[in-house]
Structure 1
């Protein structure tokens, strides 16, 4: 069975073969062990199912982003995945602390006196602790491996942008800002879903107005992100203007940071405060960066980049994987001697 174009080299296949399965299995074991002994519907234990849901979402999202980056030959997105993986490492480390806060309420007790709430030898906490530690260790090791393969892929994909926009330095810079914008929108999606998932699973009661408002915000944000992506790709000025204004308005959503720590509400966030704070700050910074890059992309509208955006690299390979101009670049592979036409290049007025 032939591999798809995005997985046509050893470096690409190795990049896709990350630690996802191992991490999800470790988290699932923790979930299974805890659910056998405690009622996960109790608010103090809800961090455990949230932990499982977040890591499944994160690993699936990372696999999708990796395949998408390889398919598009997008080195910027690969670098973004490295940063995302580092954030995943931080999240895995935080979950060790969060799970201990949820499980241990009698630190000196062992299994003979308090199996569920104790922190000593033989307790539930000691039973799940090794599996919690495996996750950040595996993520950290795989991050180092991924850095090596991104370096390999950087050389492999280095010729891609030239075949989209040509050799013009100004066009290359504009196209790179466009790629950064699209990449940021994808990560905005994950950050928003991560914050919302934690609020809905762990914190908010279903019969409150805040729960309803959080649910209502989901389709609005999805429309915003999709609209921004279409606007920046097709250079629709009126739609881009609306999206930029909505991004600024959405920054006000992060008033919730105050609620995590103010005396009136801090208790309900106790078991997930560290993770929620980290997610919320990252989401805030991502959205602000998206707004800033969006302004830069907006300034590049009508400067000749539209055709390159609309005819980006697709599943069909448009260029040779051989180094251009090298002796090994065969004519049928698209070497300079082949006479094969290059994609349309951008002209800057």
Structure 2
């Protein structure tokens, strides 16, 4: 079966259009909220920092989702498509939480705002101006999620032959390759959740001169090494690197537990007040994703040296290139055969031949 070109089918094109369109609309809504708040309050004050953080996270989320969607289509990865569907639903939850968090930030009853709109819930207040934009965002994301379900269903049937092209018809190889796809997908989502937690901590909460700020900065390269190292180890079946990666995952789990304790510890809970809900959700999701990555990583480690490495290094994109090259060579060969036949016949018409099947 031929491997079709990227974005050559209706389902692929409309899948990308749906993600891009909702991304533009949602970012426009978030940017409008940011503009209203920036014009009316001092964003350098700690209680209002949740708004620029909200904008930064959604920019990161939309860029990440577009890249993940394109990558899933490129790799013909159904598992990653399902991951995108779950991620998109998580964006609905995140956008809904932001309605509450933004309200907590901008509604300050009995407080005079020298820069503009009142900070209560009256018709002319800042909250009244931004509330419609905050509500539109989760609605748009949810509607686009329903559309994505339809397109991913079509892509599921379209990509049915992808794994067969890579590993053949062996059921054991197919299962091992699916676990490999799962851990690569989990590592990508681990990256987003960790960066999301770090952005919130560095922008909104922590002071640059605090020890916790230094700890958060130091954790970034360690976790990035963990994710990149694990991806490289599982693809190339490097046992010592995979062992280090699995050990670092346990250390990272301890880091997330430490952060959760800090969010609600009496001595530090005040500094996390404006973003505690979002930080808690992100940290718990990051913890669960990393735990799932550790579990699947153990399974993938057990599959090392069982003949799957070639399939990992030569994925569906390599197969597509090989197929395209073969088609070109085949066409050139046919053209050469035709020219040789014409020379051999010296311009005389061939007589009909009888073929006996």
Q: TM-score, normalised by structure 1?
A: 0.88
Contact persistence 1:77–1:183 (CA under 8 A): yes
CA contact (8 A) 2:107 2:119 kept: yes
In 2, Cα distance between the equivalents of 1:128 and 1:59?
21
- The answer as to 2:242 corresponding to 1:240 is yes
Q: How far does the alpha carbon of each residue in 1:90-125 deviate from its partner, in whole angstroms, 9 at most, with x for none?
A: 000000000000011218x999xx933211211000
Cα offset, 1:288, TM superposition: 0.3
Runs of 4+ deviating beyond 3 Å: none
Equivalent residue number for residue 261 of structure 2: 258
Match of 1:197? 199
Question: When you count helix as a share of all residues, which structure comes out higher?
Answer: 2
Name the residue aligned to 1:213. Answer: 215
Q: Which residue is equivalent to 2:298?
A: 295
Does the C-alpha gap of structure 1 residues 319 and 138 become closer, same or farther in structure 2, counting only changes over 3 Å? Answer: farther
2:249 touches 2:294 (CA, 8 Å); kept in 1?
yes
Residues 16 and 69 in structure 2, CA contact (< 8 A), matched pair in contact too: yes
1:54 is displaced (CA, Å) by 0.1
RMSD value over aligned CA atoms? 2.2
Gaps of 5+ in 1: 321-330, 334-349
Alignment of 1:81-160 (within 5 A): 81-106=84-109, 115-160=117-162
Alignment of 1:44-59 (within 5 A): 44-59=47-62
Q: 1:34 aligns with which of 31, 34, 37?
A: 37
Secondary structure at the counterpart of residue 317 of structure 2:
coil
Which range is displaced more, 10-19 or 167-176? Answer: 10-19
TM-score, scaled to structure 2: 0.86
1:65 aligns with 2:68: yes
1:173 is paired with a residue of what secondary structure? helix
Structure 1 residue 319: deviation in Å?
9.0
Alpha-carbon distance between aligned partners in 1 of 2:38 and 2:54, rounded to the nearest angstrom: 13
1:216 to partner: Cα distance = 1.3
Residue 315 of structure 1 and its aligned partner are, at CA, apart by: 6.6
**Residues 200-254 of structure 1, C-alpha deviations (whole Å, 9 max, x = no match):** 0000001111111111111111111100000000000010001000101111112
The unaligned stretches of length 5 or more in structure 2 are 329-357
Structure 2 distance, partners of 1:150, 1:166, is: 23
Give the total of aligned pairs: 319
